[in-house]
Amino acid sequence: MRANSAKALVLPLAVLVAFEVWARATHLQSDSLAPPSEIVMALFGAFADLSILTATRDTLFSAFAGLAIGTTIGLAFGIAFGISDTLDRLMEVTVEAIRPIPSIALLPIALIALGFGYRMEIVIVAFACVWPVLILSRAAVRSIEPRLMEVARALRLPSAQRVWKIIIPAALPRIFVAFRLSAGIALIVAVTVEIAINPLGLGAGIMLAQQALRPDLMLAYLVWIGVIGYALNVLLVVAQNRLFGRAALSGDGA
Amino acid sequence: MASAAKRLEAVYGTATPQIAFDGVTLVLGGKTIIENLSLGVRPGEFLCIVGASGCGKTTALRLAAGLYQPTSGKVNFDGQPMREPRREIAIVFQDYGKALLPWRTAAGNVSLALEAGGMPSAERPARIEELLRTVGLPGHAGKYPSEMSGGMQQRLQIARCLAQEPKTLLMDEPFGALDAMTRQGLQDEVLSLVAASGATVIFVTHDLDEAIYLGDRVIGLLPHPGRIGIELSVNLPRPRDQLSTREHPEFLRLRRQLFDFIKATEQ
């Protein structure tokens, strides 16, 4: 494992070093590129004056709030559609009509309705997060072992308990995969909204650096967003294995 | 219909059967699975149902459980029509691996039945311990089903069914997936559990020896559509014994009769 991951780092490191050497040799003057050393320095600078930390806080706040709202809505509808065929058929056209709308296309409406700031961004992130959770949790509920539902019926489990004690735990490993997917989307959409129009967070930080002709700072923000996205995914994968290692295995094995 | 009722009366005198099928027909997806099945099970009786695969024996059990509703005819429980599953009827499924909740421990799985029955949480642990001891799983309360052998998982499922304090226990090939030794052990345990609780049992199996060994009465179903082909009373002394019962001349006679019947249906 260790030797493999070390090998995987060889190519990126070589590219970085080559780029650094080339940038210095040619005395690179650019509005879009900067040598790695300057990017690192800019990143340290942004940490030192706390600007990147404030931006990170703003972006993550919007992304997580939107993720929480979107996941809740998606989960509620996904479970309801999974349980009730009637409801699913009734809502199918509506869902399929709304789902393909790119979330970012809601930006003009959200801006008029809610103005600049967190609320507008949260609404757009939430809209984007609803769909993966809705579609996957509906499928997860559909694919629950029918025997478990018969056990619930034979035990005369009241329907609220049936959802809470059978359906949600049985579907949870798959629902968590949907949540991971949505978490990635939440970060992408939040930064996109900030780049497009909202004057806060990491996206706005990139735009500001670009307009100030600071490619080093702009790229530093980019690197930092990558680090956050990577860390978020690692965190969720670890959580998934911790929480559902056993359940996921037995679910697939059955 | 009238003849079915008359037949029941002839067999059981005036005693009301606990479970009564009265001219039950079930059509699923345009296919007649069971046709005009009439059958009564006395309180406390151990009834075994055998038959070739696809003869509708599992379906009959599901009708008795209230998991299916007949297309025509009636299924009654204690004289009341069955419209849905009831607390007094517990069902043990063959595929214990699918019927247990993999995310709950043994204790948690038993607890599910107690929760469904509305038992206060303070009273549950003692009852769970008692039930696990009854089925021979003391000290395994904290294990997950995936950490248990097939026989242990089936014991656990039986414990969950006993938690319902059922008047009727329905068993769908419960030992079909287990090895011969585990199987014989569990047969005897089920017999003593049933003797202790006085529950009525309908036991579906494809193992003819098992049916005769366990039952007070064995019914053989004919396939396509499912209907009664043979009915045998088992007058073997209880408690039954794995060696002497199976060597009893009556056991061998019934075994012969049942094998001949099954052979005939398969041709």
pLDDT more than 90, % of chain B: 75
Asked if B13 and B25 sit in the same domain, the reply is yes
Residue A31's pLDDT is what?
81
Asked if B81 and B204 sit in the same domain, the reply is yes
- Asked if B93 is an interface residue toward chain A (Cβ–Cβ < 8 A), one would say yes
- Residue B120, sorted as left (phi over 0), alpha (psi -120 to 50) or beta, turns out to be beta
**Per-residue pLDDT tens for B83-121?**
899 999 999 999 999 999 999 999 999 999 999 999 999
Instruction: Identify whether the C-beta of residue B106 lies closer than 8 Å to the C-beta of residue B160.
Output: no
Mean pLDDT of all residues in B230-250: 92
Q: Is residue B144 part of a domain?
A: yes
- Asked if B52 is an interface residue toward chain A (Cβ–Cβ < 8 A), one would say no
Test B90 with A147 for CB contact under 8 angstroms.
no
Asked if B22 and B118 sit in the same domain, the reply is no
- Chain A nearest CA to B63, separation (Å): 12
Three-state SS annotation for A83-109: HCHHHHHHHHHHHHHHCCCCHHHHHHH
Q: Which residues of B touch A145 (CB under 8 A)?
A: 98
Give me the residues of chain A with pLDDT under 70, please: 1-3, 245-254
Q: Tokens standing for A203?
A: 């996206």
Q: Which residues of A touch B101 (CB under 8 A)?
A: 148, 166, 169-170
Test B99 with A158 for CB contact under 8 angstroms.
no
List the single residue in A with minimal CA-CA distance to B163. Answer: A155
Q: Is residue B196 part of a domain?
A: yes
Q: Which of B124, B144, B165 is the last residue of a domain?
A: B165
Asked if B158 and B67 sit in the same domain, the reply is no
List the single residue in A with minimal CA-CA distance to B98. Answer: A147
Q: Which residues of B touch A250 (CB under 8 A)?
A: 102, 145-146
Residue B13's pLDDT is what?
52
- Round to whole Å and give the CA distance between A161 and A151: 13
CATH entry 1.10.3720.10 includes domain A34-253: yes
Test B102 with A154 for CB contact under 8 angstroms.
no
Decide the pairing of beta strands B200-204 and B168-172: parallel
Q: What is the DSSP letter of B100?
A: S
Residue A251's pLDDT is what?
40
Report chain A residues touching chain B, CB-CB < 8 A. Answer: 145, 147-148, 150-151, 153-158, 161, 165-166, 169-170, 172, 246-247, 249-251, 254
- Asked if B232 is an interface residue toward chain A (Cβ–Cβ < 8 A), one would say no
Q: Domain containing B142: what range?
A: 98-165
List the single residue in B with minimal CA-CA distance to A243. Answer: B103
Residue A248's pLDDT is what?
46
- Asked if B88 is an interface residue toward chain A (Cβ–Cβ < 8 A), one would say no
List the single residue in B with minimal CA-CA distance to A167. Answer: B101
Q: How confident is the model at residue B137 (pLDDT cuts 50, 70, 90)?
A: very high
Q: Tokens standing for B263?
A: 């052979």
Residue B40, pLDDT > 90, answer yes
Residue A235's pLDDT is what?
94
Mean pLDDT of all residues in B202-207: 94
- Chain B nearest CA to A21, separation (Å): 56
The domain segmentation of chain A, as residue ranges, is 1-30, 34-253
Q: Which of B116, B132, B165 is the last residue of a domain?
A: B165
- Chain B nearest CA to A185, separation (Å): 29
Asked if B72 and B171 sit in the same domain, the reply is yes
Asked if B161 and B171 sit in the same domain, the reply is no
Q: Which of B165, B189, B222 is the last residue of a domain?
A: B165
Q: Which residues of A touch B93 (CB under 8 A)?
A: 147, 150-151
Residue A244's pLDDT is what?
80
Q: Is residue B54 part of a domain?
A: yes
CATH number reported for the structural domain that contains residue B197 in this entry? 3.40.50.300
Nearest CB partner across the interface for B67, out of A150, A157, A165: A150
Start-to-end CA span in chain B (Å): 30
Mean pLDDT, chain B, whole residue set:
90
Asked if B79 and B205 sit in the same domain, the reply is yes
Nearest CB partner across the interface for A147, out of B90, B93, B103: B93
| Cα–Cα nearest to B153, from B101, B116, B211 | B101
Residue B224's pLDDT is what?
84
Q: How confident is the model at residue B2 (pLDDT cuts 50, 70, 90)?
A: very low
Asked if B108 and B215 sit in the same domain, the reply is no
Q: Tokens standing for B266?
A: 């398969």
List the single residue in A with minimal CA-CA distance to B64. Answer: A154
| Peptide linkage before B70 cis (omega within 30 of 0) | no
Asked if B139 and B224 sit in the same domain, the reply is no
Q: Is residue B210 part of a domain?
A: yes
Residue A199's pLDDT is what?
92
Work out the burial of residue B175: count CB atoms within 10 Å of its CB; fewer than 13 is exposed, 13-18 middle, 19 or more buried. buried
Mean pLDDT of all residues in B18-26: 93
Q: Kindly give, in sequence order, each residue whose CB lies less than 8 Å from that of residue A183, ignoring residues fewer than 6 positions away.
A: A67, A232, A233, A236
Count structural domains, chain B.
2
